[in-house]
Amino acid sequence: MTLIQFQSRCVRRNEIHELVSTDQVDAQAGDRINRVGFIGFVEIVQPGVIEVGDALSVNGRYVGSVLGFDECHFPNHYNILIACSELLSSGDLEECVIGGNIEFREVL
């Protein structure tokens, strides 16, 4: 995966995107991301803008912050890369269940 130059992406209701964790927390636009954990796909319920630095929570549990976006599967979906202290997949997150609440929140 490669981080694209854009620092934000607009998301529309009913779009599906993929959440991917990485411990390459210092990566910047244009950098390759080689260490990943696949958290899963999410359906956007509330449209908005997701920006680099936004906090990601899964059913109230803080997981990490948005590192950037990869568009290797676009226009089907974006990979939203999440900077984490360790690689996480859906199996590592008990809170990650079908129908669960995934929230992106601006960090002030």
Task: Please give the average pLDDT of every successive group of 10 residues along the chain, which has 108 residues.
Answer: 97 96 96 94 95 93 95 95 91 71 88
CA distance 59 to 99: 10
DSSP state of 99: T
pLDDT at residue 92, rounded to an integer? 77
Which H or E run contains 38? strand 37-43
pLDDT at residue 61, rounded to an integer? 86
pLDDT at residue 59, rounded to an integer? 85
pTM of structure: 0.92
